[in-house]
A and B are shown apart, each in its own frame.
Chain A
Amino acid sequence: MSMTQKPMSVASMEKKANEIRVDIIKMLEHAGSGHSAGPLGLADVFTALYFKILKHNPANPDWDQRDILLLSNGHCVPVRYATMAHAGYFPKKELMTLRQLGSRLQGHPERLRLPGMETTSGPLGSGLSQAAGMALALRMDKAQHRWVYVVMGDGELDEGNVWEAAMLAGKYKLNNIIGIVDRNNIQIEGPTEKVMPLENLRDKWESFGWHVLEIDGNDIEAVIDATSMAKAIVEKPVVIIAHTVPGKGVDFMEYDFHWHGSPPNHEQAVKALKELRTLGGKIRSEHE
């Protein structure tokens, strides 16, 4: 967690994840383009990372003892922007500049524009290999107390570069990498198993020398527990296959691959926000 934050309860983090979803919908509607399903599905993972798991400092994004978080599937960056704003990296009102000329919040993330954005990404498949390079450098420097987290999409695993990196991390037993695969089973043109089957995904990673953990990626506590477990596994790199619901929290977006690369229009946004704000009455009864 951030060096300036107070510890947060899981219930508070769940509420935070919902606020982040609200901001994602607002940003995407305002921008008029962008990806909806992935960012909504990853809100719980990012909340857990920024409000509990990562060692980081929003006031000093380049802090030399920070953990590294790479977003390999750069198209999901709205969730990272929203979470970073909530964590205090920049004012929340800046979220509405997403994808506009001159904005620090580019359609796909750019390191040089936004402090705290560790890498430029968008073209898929090169996050894990950069994580491997970082992990090797940390090992050369004997910096055992720093971790490299890398979030990847499942459709992204079609890229050969991912498996080149997986092989390398297995070879060098880079136990300071924690991979998180957003297993939401969709990609731009359809279900992953129809476009290009990934299963048996666990076996694939294991055969490349990785330890695999599988969790419900929309369960914040499970995300936190899995990263703790991953740090305890010293002999191999660890990948967490986080099963998430694409479009999570917005009924008409959930599980529908058509929302991979589309933003909501005004009417859809109003409907989505109403649903997120009430969660069918659940949020109010649980948290208020």
Chain B
Amino acid sequence: MSDMHLVRGQLEKESIRKGFGRGLLEAGNRWDNVVAACADLTESTQMHLFAEAFPERFVQVGVAEQNLVTVGAGLAAMNKIPFVSSYAAFSPGRNWEQIRTTICLNDRPVKVVGSHAGVSVGPDGATHQMLEDLALMRALPNMVVIAPCDSREAMRATLAMATDKRPNYMRLSRSDTPVITTELTPFEIGKAYIYRPGRDVSIITTGTMTYQALAAAVTLAHDGIHAEVVHVPTIKPLDSVTILESVGRTRHVITAEEAQINGGLGGAVAELLGEHLPTPMLRIGMKDRFGESGKPEELLKHFGLTHTHIALAAHHILMDHTNHKH
């Protein structure tokens, strides 16, 4: 994509969850053992495409998220690959222990899909803006944690999850998000990708913030700062090789995610660098607080989750570090 398109917001936009809906339908077509269950949010989570195509492979559990994931564990026990979805605030928000015991400790390949994550859920307010899911899921042994950056990557992630033998969690968002990947963009579970090379600072991002990071890199380039954007669609297991290689070159790090700064991608990167490559770092994310009602764009601005904030952070970290050196 061109830099102009990025900053002017002229890219095609689509909700990330739509890619999941198409991916699940395609997974259903490809593999007979793919099944799905939903907790009364079939259309919101885009599972309706699968449910309409394969009614005999779809389970409607009602508003019961603890049941949702444990029914999923039972389906997986009988060699099904179950995708179970609701809003992220409820699943994995409400049913964490069931996910821990019956999916992770039990090692069942259940695919937990949490839609409507982040403050960009908008007017529904803090109760529905899930910000702790990455931390909750990342803490669990055996769990793979995925946050695609656009609808196209969500579709590819869904297909990859359908053949992955491990428990998986994927977070989706509600608002329209610029489509920044192409049919040729690689995706593999467990891999991070350099979406834009640079030598001065690594902006390590996931989910909806990857677009913001790319836009920030464009404006930073005007100021003579060459930012490297490392997209991390798999937060666990973390692609430490790609991250350490990038940070080894740039020696400055910004992380960006539409989630709590504690325990999510920023936490994961800080843990990695703290042990292997201590590096000046700033984390962009929700700063240990809850969201509130508003329009998605308003909220992202209000809580400091835009390309402007990322660019500012990059300036700060480079300035601080330069001053320190001299």
Contacts and interface: CB of A to CB of B under 8 A. Distances in A.
Q: Do A and B bind each other?
A: yes
Interface of A: 68, 110-112, 118-123, 125-126, 129-138, 140-141, 160-161, 164-165, 167-168, 171-172
A140 B35 contact: yes
Given A110-B105, A112-B107, A165-B71, A119 B66 contact: no
Given A118-B77, A126-B70, A132-B74, 13 more contacts: A112-B105, A120-B101, A123-B97, A126-B73, A126-B98, A126-B101, A133-B70, A133-B75, A137-B80, A140-B35, A160-B66, A164-B67, A167-B64
A126 B72 contact: no
Nearest to A126: B70
Given A129-B67, A165-B67, A137 B101 contact: no
Nearest to B95: A161
B74 A131 contact: yes
B106 A119 contact: yes
Contacts of B76: 133
A171 B64 CA distance: 14
B56 to A, nearest CB: 6
B59 A130 contact: no
B73 A133 contact: yes
Given A126-B66, A134-B74, A168-B61, A140 B102 contact: no
Interface string B274-294: 000000000000000000000
A131 B72 CA distance: 10
B82 interface: yes
B163 interface: no
A140 B57 contact: yes
B62 A134 contact: no
A129 B57 contact: no
Contact of A133 (B56, B66, B72): B72
Contacts of B67: 129, 132, 161, 164-165, 168
A167 B64 CA distance: 10
24 contacts: A112-B105, A118-B77, A119-B77, A120-B101, A120-B102, A120-B106, A125-B66, A126-B66, A126-B73, A126-B101, A129-B71, A133-B72, A133-B77, A133-B82, A134-B75, A137-B35, A137-B77, A140-B35, A141-B78, A161-B67, A164-B64, A165-B67, A165-B70, A165-B71
A165 B71 CA distance: 8
Interface string B106-128: 11000000000000000000000
B126 to A, nearest CB: 24
B29 interface: no
Nearest to B110: A133
A129 B78 contact: no
B75 A137 contact: yes
Given A120-B101, A120-B106, A161 B66 contact: yes
Given A167-B62, A167-B64, A140 B80 contact: yes
B61 to A, nearest CB: 6
Contacts of B72: 133
Given A126-B98, A160-B66, A168-B64, A136 B71 contact: yes
Q: Which of B59, B64, B70, B101 has the most CB of A within 10 A?
A: B70
B160 to A, nearest CB: 23
A161 B98 contact: yes
Contacts of A119: 73, 77, 102, 106
A119 B62 CA distance: 24
Given A120-B106, A121-B101, A126-B102, A134 B77 contact: yes
B263 to A, nearest CB: 22
Contacts of B97: 123
Contact of A132 (B66, B71, B80, B106): B71
A224 to B, nearest CB: 26
B78 A161 contact: no
Contacts of A123: 97-98, 101
A136 B75 contact: yes
Contacts of A172: 59
Contacts of B98: 123, 126, 161
B247 to A, nearest CB: 36
A119 B72 CA distance: 13
Contacts of B56: 140
A164 B107 CA distance: 23
B102 A130 contact: yes
Nearest to A74: B101
Nearest to A119: B106
A130 B73 contact: yes
Q: Which 8 residue pairs are nearest across A and B when measured between Cβ atoms? A: A133-B74, A137-B78, A129-B70, A164-B67, A130-B74, A164-B64, A133-B71, A133-B75
B157 to A, nearest CB: 23
Nearest to A143: B78
B77 A120 contact: no
A202 B106 CA distance: 32
A160 B82 CA distance: 22
A116 to B, nearest CB: 14
Contacts of A132: 67, 71, 74
Contacts of B57: 140
Given A111-B106, A132-B71, A161-B98, A138 B61 contact: no
A122 B101 contact: yes
Interface in B234-269: none
A168 B71 contact: yes
Q: Which of B66, B74, B76, B101 has the most CB of A within 10 A?
A: B74
